[in-house]
Protein backbone atom coordinates (compact mmCIF):
# COMPACT_ATOMS: atom_id res chain seq x y z
CA UNK A 1 0.00 0.00 0.00
CA UNK A 2 1.36 3.42 -0.97
CA UNK A 3 1.49 5.56 2.16
CA UNK A 4 3.89 8.19 0.80
CA UNK A 5 1.12 10.73 0.26
CA UNK A 6 -1.79 10.00 2.62
CA UNK A 7 -5.13 11.73 2.54
CA UNK A 8 -5.80 14.30 5.24
CA UNK A 9 -9.26 13.92 6.75
CA UNK A 10 -10.82 16.84 8.63
CA UNK A 11 -13.30 15.39 11.12
CA UNK A 12 -16.08 17.78 12.11
CA UNK A 13 -18.99 17.32 14.53
CA UNK A 14 -22.31 16.53 12.93
CA UNK A 15 -23.92 19.71 14.27
CA UNK A 16 -21.17 21.99 12.97
CA UNK A 17 -22.33 25.61 12.62
CA UNK A 18 -19.27 27.73 11.78
CA UNK A 19 -16.81 25.27 10.25
CA UNK A 20 -13.18 26.36 10.22
CA UNK A 21 -11.95 24.94 6.93
CA UNK A 22 -8.57 26.25 5.84
CA UNK A 23 -7.30 23.65 3.39
CA UNK A 24 -8.52 23.20 -0.15
CA UNK A 25 -11.22 20.56 0.24
CA UNK A 26 -11.73 17.89 -2.42
CA UNK A 27 -15.05 16.51 -1.15
CA UNK A 28 -17.41 16.36 1.84
CA UNK A 29 -18.59 13.06 3.32
CA UNK A 30 -21.34 12.71 5.91
CA UNK A 31 -23.13 10.02 7.87
CA UNK A 32 -26.90 9.61 7.37
CA UNK A 33 -27.77 11.86 10.34
CA UNK A 34 -25.45 14.67 9.17
CA UNK A 35 -26.83 15.13 5.66
CA UNK A 36 -28.28 18.60 6.29
CA UNK A 37 -25.04 19.98 7.76
CA UNK A 38 -23.02 18.21 5.08
CA UNK A 39 -25.17 19.72 2.34
CA UNK A 40 -24.71 23.24 3.71
CA UNK A 41 -20.97 22.78 4.01
CA UNK A 42 -20.55 21.21 0.56
CA UNK A 43 -22.57 24.03 -1.01
CA UNK A 44 -20.46 26.59 0.86
CA UNK A 45 -17.21 24.98 -0.34
CA UNK A 46 -18.49 24.30 -3.85
CA UNK A 47 -17.71 20.58 -3.71
CA UNK A 48 -19.62 17.30 -3.89
CA UNK A 49 -21.32 15.68 -0.88
CA UNK A 50 -21.32 11.89 -0.50
CA UNK A 51 -23.47 10.23 2.16
CA UNK A 52 -21.86 7.17 3.83
CA UNK A 53 -24.61 5.00 5.39
CA UNK A 54 -22.29 2.90 7.59
CA UNK A 55 -20.00 5.71 8.76
CA UNK A 56 -21.14 5.65 12.40
CA UNK A 57 -21.10 1.84 12.64
CA UNK A 58 -17.78 1.25 10.85
CA UNK A 59 -15.76 4.48 11.07
CA UNK A 60 -12.33 2.84 10.63
CA UNK A 61 -13.26 0.91 7.50
CA UNK A 62 -15.23 3.75 5.93
CA UNK A 63 -12.51 6.33 6.63
CA UNK A 64 -9.90 4.02 5.14
CA UNK A 65 -11.98 3.66 1.98
CA UNK A 66 -12.33 7.46 1.79
CA UNK A 67 -8.59 7.91 2.36
CA UNK A 68 -7.76 5.44 -0.40
CA UNK A 69 -9.78 7.54 -2.84
CA UNK A 70 -8.15 10.82 -1.89
CA UNK A 71 -4.39 10.35 -1.51
CA UNK A 72 -2.67 13.72 -1.43
CA UNK A 73 -5.98 15.55 -0.90
CA UNK A 74 -7.94 16.91 2.07
CA UNK A 75 -11.56 15.88 2.61
CA UNK A 76 -14.13 16.72 5.30
CA UNK A 77 -16.03 13.97 7.12
CA UNK A 78 -19.01 14.62 9.41
CA UNK A 79 -20.34 11.94 11.74
CA UNK A 80 -17.32 9.67 12.26
CA UNK A 81 -16.44 8.87 15.89
CA UNK A 82 -12.79 7.98 16.56
CA UNK A 83 -12.96 9.13 20.17
CA UNK A 84 -11.19 12.41 19.39
CA UNK A 85 -12.14 15.93 20.40
CA UNK A 86 -13.45 17.58 17.24
CA UNK A 87 -12.53 19.27 15.02
CA UNK A 88 -9.50 17.10 14.29
CA UNK A 89 -7.31 16.32 11.30
CA UNK A 90 -6.30 12.67 10.97
CA UNK A 91 -4.06 10.66 8.66
CA UNK A 92 -3.68 6.90 8.40
CA UNK A 93 -0.17 5.85 9.38
CA UNK A 94 -0.50 2.21 8.36
CA UNK A 95 -1.10 1.12 11.97
CA UNK A 96 -4.14 3.28 12.59
CA UNK A 97 -5.40 6.81 12.57
CA UNK A 98 -3.05 9.54 13.78
CA UNK A 99 -4.21 12.98 14.82
CA UNK A 100 -2.22 15.68 13.01
CA UNK A 101 -1.54 18.81 15.09
CA UNK A 102 -2.64 22.04 13.43
CA UNK A 103 -0.26 24.95 12.91
CA UNK A 104 -1.97 26.75 15.77
CA UNK A 105 -1.58 23.76 18.10
CA UNK A 106 2.16 23.63 17.34
CA UNK A 107 2.35 27.35 18.14
CA UNK A 108 0.48 26.89 21.43
CA UNK A 109 2.87 24.09 22.37
CA UNK A 110 5.76 26.52 21.87
CA UNK A 111 4.15 29.04 24.21
CA UNK A 112 3.60 26.29 26.81
CA UNK A 113 7.31 25.49 26.76
CA UNK A 114 8.68 29.01 26.46
CA UNK A 115 6.29 31.28 28.35
CA UNK A 116 9.02 32.78 30.56
CA UNK A 117 11.31 33.37 27.59
CA UNK A 118 8.38 35.06 25.83
CA UNK A 119 7.80 37.38 28.80
CA UNK A 120 11.47 38.35 28.71
CA UNK A 121 11.43 38.95 24.93
CA UNK A 122 8.44 41.32 24.64
CA UNK A 123 8.34 45.02 25.53
CA UNK A 124 7.43 45.67 29.14
CA UNK A 125 5.03 48.48 28.20
CA UNK A 126 1.42 47.73 27.19
CA UNK A 127 0.12 48.35 23.68
CA UNK A 128 -0.99 51.93 24.27
CA UNK A 129 -1.98 52.44 20.61
CA UNK A 130 -4.44 49.55 20.66
CA UNK A 131 -5.79 50.47 24.09
CA UNK A 132 -6.30 54.06 22.90
CA UNK A 133 -8.34 52.67 19.98
CA UNK A 134 -10.48 50.59 22.30
CA UNK A 135 -11.11 53.67 24.45
CA UNK A 136 -12.56 55.40 21.39
CA UNK A 137 -15.12 52.61 21.03
CA UNK A 138 -16.19 52.00 24.64
CA UNK A 139 -16.15 54.03 27.84
CA UNK A 140 -14.46 53.18 31.15
CA UNK A 141 -16.50 50.61 33.05
CA UNK A 142 -17.07 48.54 29.91
CA UNK A 143 -16.80 44.76 30.18
CA UNK A 144 -13.97 43.59 27.94
CA UNK A 145 -13.16 40.04 26.86
CA UNK A 146 -9.43 39.78 26.22
CA UNK A 147 -8.46 36.93 23.88
CA UNK A 148 -4.89 35.74 24.41
CA UNK A 149 -3.98 37.73 27.52
CA UNK A 150 -0.53 36.13 27.59
CA UNK A 151 1.54 37.66 30.37
CA UNK A 152 -1.35 39.96 31.38
CA UNK A 153 0.56 43.09 30.38
CA UNK A 154 -2.29 44.79 28.48
CA UNK A 155 -4.95 43.76 30.99
CA UNK A 156 -3.20 45.74 33.72
CA UNK A 157 -3.34 48.93 31.66
CA UNK A 158 -6.93 48.26 30.58
CA UNK A 159 -7.94 47.99 34.23
CA UNK A 160 -5.91 51.06 35.16
CA UNK A 161 -8.06 52.95 32.64
CA UNK A 162 -11.26 51.69 34.23
CA UNK A 163 -12.23 48.73 32.03
CA UNK A 164 -13.45 45.45 33.53
CA UNK A 165 -11.35 42.72 31.92
CA UNK A 166 -11.91 38.99 31.59
CA UNK A 167 -8.40 37.60 31.10
CA UNK A 168 -8.25 34.45 28.93
CA UNK A 169 -5.66 32.37 27.16
CA UNK A 170 -5.39 28.99 25.44
CA UNK A 171 -1.98 28.35 27.04
CA UNK A 172 -1.90 26.91 30.55
CA UNK A 173 1.55 28.38 31.21
CA UNK A 174 0.21 31.91 30.70
CA UNK A 175 -2.82 31.19 32.89
CA UNK A 176 -0.49 30.00 35.64
CA UNK A 177 1.64 33.12 35.18
CA UNK A 178 -1.31 35.50 35.55
CA UNK A 179 -2.75 33.58 38.50
CA UNK A 180 0.65 33.65 40.22
CA UNK A 181 0.53 37.45 39.83
CA UNK A 182 -2.81 37.45 41.67
CA UNK A 183 -5.32 37.68 38.81
CA UNK A 184 -8.19 35.48 37.68
CA UNK A 185 -7.71 34.03 34.20
CA UNK A 186 -9.83 31.55 32.23
CA UNK A 187 -8.83 28.87 29.75
CA UNK A 188 -10.30 29.85 26.38
CA UNK A 189 -9.19 28.72 22.94
CA UNK A 190 -10.49 31.35 20.54
CA UNK A 191 -10.69 28.86 17.67
CA UNK A 192 -12.53 26.02 19.39
CA UNK A 193 -14.35 27.52 22.40
CA UNK A 194 -17.46 29.63 22.84
CA UNK A 195 -16.76 33.18 24.02
CA UNK A 196 -19.68 33.53 26.40
CA UNK A 197 -20.83 37.05 27.13
CA UNK A 198 -22.32 39.34 26.20
CA UNK A 199 -19.47 41.83 26.60
CA UNK A 200 -19.11 45.46 25.61
CA UNK A 201 -15.94 44.75 23.61
CA UNK A 202 -13.48 42.08 22.53
CA UNK A 203 -9.78 42.99 22.72
CA UNK A 204 -6.90 40.97 21.28
CA UNK A 205 -3.28 42.06 20.94
CA UNK A 206 -0.96 40.08 18.63
CA UNK A 207 -3.06 36.90 18.72
CA UNK A 208 -4.93 36.87 15.42
CA UNK A 209 -1.58 36.61 13.60
CA UNK A 210 -1.44 32.95 14.66
CA UNK A 211 -4.76 32.07 12.97
CA UNK A 212 -5.03 31.03 9.35
CA UNK A 213 -7.56 32.87 7.24
CA UNK A 214 -10.41 30.41 7.78
CA UNK A 215 -9.73 30.25 11.52
CA UNK A 216 -9.74 34.03 11.78
CA UNK A 217 -13.07 34.20 9.96
CA UNK A 218 -14.55 31.84 12.56
CA UNK A 219 -13.08 33.85 15.44
CA UNK A 220 -14.45 37.10 14.02
CA UNK A 221 -17.95 35.61 13.74
CA UNK A 222 -17.82 34.46 17.36
CA UNK A 223 -16.57 37.88 18.46
CA UNK A 224 -19.50 39.46 16.61
CA UNK A 225 -21.95 37.41 18.66
CA UNK A 226 -20.10 38.24 21.89
CA UNK A 227 -19.72 42.03 21.65
CA UNK A 228 -20.55 45.07 19.47
CA UNK A 229 -16.96 46.43 19.50
CA UNK A 230 -13.69 44.77 18.50
CA UNK A 231 -10.12 46.06 18.90
CA UNK A 232 -7.15 43.97 17.74
CA UNK A 233 -3.60 44.20 16.44
CA UNK A 234 -2.07 41.90 13.83
CA UNK A 235 0.95 41.77 11.52
CA UNK A 236 1.15 43.47 8.15
CA UNK A 237 2.77 41.50 5.36
CA UNK A 238 2.23 38.85 2.73
CA UNK A 239 1.73 35.12 3.12
CA UNK A 240 2.56 32.92 6.07
CA UNK A 241 5.78 31.89 7.82
CA UNK A 242 7.25 29.65 10.47
CA UNK A 243 9.76 31.31 12.76
CA UNK A 244 11.93 30.29 15.73
CA UNK A 245 12.67 33.96 16.46
CA UNK A 246 13.14 34.82 20.17
CA UNK A 247 11.80 31.55 21.57
CA UNK A 248 14.01 29.01 19.70
CA UNK A 249 10.87 26.98 19.01
CA UNK A 250 8.49 27.14 16.04
CA UNK A 251 5.59 29.55 15.81
CA UNK A 252 3.29 30.01 12.82
CA UNK A 253 2.49 33.54 11.65
CA UNK A 254 -0.10 34.77 9.13
CA UNK A 255 0.34 38.26 7.68
CA UNK A 256 -2.28 40.55 6.18
CA UNK A 257 -2.60 43.34 3.66
CA UNK A 258 -5.09 46.07 4.57
CA UNK A 259 -7.70 45.53 1.86
CA UNK A 260 -8.09 41.75 2.32
CA UNK A 261 -8.32 42.33 6.08
CA UNK A 262 -11.03 44.94 5.59
CA UNK A 263 -12.87 42.56 3.25
CA UNK A 264 -12.78 39.73 5.79
CA UNK A 265 -14.09 42.00 8.53
CA UNK A 266 -16.95 43.15 6.31
CA UNK A 267 -17.76 39.56 5.31
CA UNK A 268 -17.97 38.52 8.97
CA UNK A 269 -20.30 41.37 9.96
CA UNK A 270 -17.96 44.16 11.08
CA UNK A 271 -17.71 47.83 10.12
CA UNK A 272 -14.11 49.06 10.20
CA UNK A 273 -13.97 52.33 12.12
CA UNK A 274 -10.20 52.84 12.15
CA UNK A 275 -7.02 51.12 10.97
CA UNK A 276 -3.76 52.50 12.34
CA UNK A 277 -0.39 51.34 11.04
CA UNK A 278 2.68 51.17 13.27
CA UNK A 279 6.20 49.74 13.21
CA UNK A 280 8.05 47.54 15.68
CA UNK A 281 11.45 45.87 15.61
CA UNK A 282 9.95 42.85 13.80
CA UNK A 283 7.91 44.74 11.18
CA UNK A 284 4.69 46.64 10.61
CA UNK A 285 1.38 46.18 12.40
CA UNK A 286 -2.28 47.02 11.91
CA UNK A 287 -4.32 48.15 14.91
CA UNK A 288 -8.01 47.92 14.11
CA UNK A 289 -11.19 49.23 15.73
CA UNK A 290 -14.41 47.72 14.35
CA UNK A 291 -18.08 47.82 15.31
CA UNK A 292 -20.93 45.41 14.68
CA UNK A 293 -22.57 46.16 11.35
Residuewise pLDDT in 10s, the chain (293 residues): 444 578 889 999 887 766 667 668 999 999 999 999 999 999 988 999 999 999 999 999 999 999 999 988 999 999 998 888 888 889 887 677 888 898 999 999 999 999 999 999 999 999 999 999 999 999 999 999 999 999 999 999 999 999 999 999 999 999 999 999 999 999 999 998 999 999 999 999 999 999 999 899 999 999 999 999 999 999 999 999 999 999 999 999 999 999 999 999 999 999 999 999 999 888 899 999 999 99
**For position 19, what pLDDT does the model report?**
65
76 and 160 assigned to the same domain = no
Instruction: Return the bridge partners of 169, or none.
Output: 187
**For position 17, what pLDDT does the model report?**
67
**For position 18, what pLDDT does the model report?**
63
Q: Which residues contact 39 (CB under 8 A, 6 or more apart)?
A: 49
179 and 46 assigned to the same domain = no
Which value, in Å, is the radius of gyration of the alpha carbons in the chain? 20
- 278 lies in which domain range? 104-292
**For position 147, what pLDDT does the model report?**
98
**For position 3, what pLDDT does the model report?**
47
Of 53, 81, 100, which residue sits at a domain end?
A: 100
Residue 136 sits in a domain whose CATH number is 3.40.50.150
**For position 214, what pLDDT does the model report?**
87
- Report the distance separating Cα 4 and Cα 7, nearest Å: 10
**For position 233, what pLDDT does the model report?**
98
Of 59, 83, 100, which residue sits at a domain end?
A: 100
pTM across the whole model: 0.84
208 and 279 assigned to the same domain = yes
**For position 86, what pLDDT does the model report?**
82
72 and 117 assigned to the same domain = no
In a domain, 2, yes or no: no
227 and 194 assigned to the same domain = yes
**For position 282, what pLDDT does the model report?**
81
93 and 117 assigned to the same domain = no
200 and 77 assigned to the same domain = no
In a domain, 27, yes or no: yes
142 and 268 assigned to the same domain = yes
**For position 94, what pLDDT does the model report?**
67
**For position 1, what pLDDT does the model report?**
40
> What is the total count of domains within the chain?
2
Amino acid sequence: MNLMCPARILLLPGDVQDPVVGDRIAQVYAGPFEVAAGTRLADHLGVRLTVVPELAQRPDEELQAIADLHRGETVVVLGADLGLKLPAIVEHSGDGWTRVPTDNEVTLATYEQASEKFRESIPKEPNELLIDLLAEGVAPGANVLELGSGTGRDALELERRGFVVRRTDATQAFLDMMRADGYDADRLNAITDDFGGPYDAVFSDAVFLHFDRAQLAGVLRKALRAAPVLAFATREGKGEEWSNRNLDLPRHFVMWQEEPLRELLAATGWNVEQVRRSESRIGFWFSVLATRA
